[in-house]
Amino acid sequence: MKKKAFSWRAFISIGLFIAFLMLFVSGIVLFFAPPGRIANWTNWEILGLSKPDWQNQHTLFGLAFIILSIFHLFSVNWKAFWSYIITKTHDGLGRPIEIFSILFLALLFGIGTQLKIQPFSAVIDFGEFLSASWEEPQQSPPVPHTERMTLREVAERFTRGRSPESLQEKLEMAGIAAPSLDQTLESIARENNTSAQKVYELLGIDTSPKSGMGKGQGKNRR
């Protein structure tokens, strides 16, 4: 039986389908994923991937889709493709209603989304509602993005008279390795296969208003 030659056209077509599928799935996941301050704090995952993981997948497969699309364009006879475009463009000019209709809709979607006009704002608001629904008082960090603080910063921000070394020792007694005082809670959690929330809880810090809670880094969905 004669061995078939490697088909770049089939390779590119299948690659485009896979890239599109990953963009579709990751786009849906990121649409309803919790804000970063919650996702990173609680080690939120879906299908074994965290929110940053899904963001990375979405970005990389988006780039792959663009690259494969360019290769797909040049995998056909360029002259034939250009001739096809010219022919279809000429035919399209004979249908001005369709051309102006799609251009109008494209502008409407772009401007409507930017200005948050209904019904586009409803879709955006629904996504934010789904994201906010993950947030519960007992799961919220003392200030937004506490997971990005180092042990030194946590000691300075939330404790009275306790040194960073004492926090480090407390974690190590609980079986959590924290070799550096300049490690963030997120980094410590990742290296110990737990969440930043759990690491913070092990520190035994009082997070009542008198403990020094204040404004953090603001609302950040990443």
Q: Give 167-186 pLDDT, tens digit per residue.
A: 888 888 888 998 888 888 88
Residues in the chain: 222
Q: Give how far Cα 105 sits from Cα of 90, 101, 211, Å.
A: 21, 6, 53
**pLDDT band for position 17 (50/70/90)?**
very high
Residue-wise pLDDT tens digits, 113-155: 888 888 888 888 888 877 777 766 556 778 878 888 888 888 8
CA distance 150 to 203: 13
**pLDDT band for position 26 (50/70/90)?**
very high
Residue 144 or 13, more confident: 13
Q: What share of the chain is helix, strand, coil (3-state, %, to 5)?
A: 65, 5, 30
How many Cα atoms within 13 Å fall on the side-chain side of residue 69?
8
Q: Give how far Cα 35 sits from Cα of 40, 97, 116, 130, 163, Å.
A: 8, 43, 20, 10, 31
Average pLDDT over residues 19-28: 95
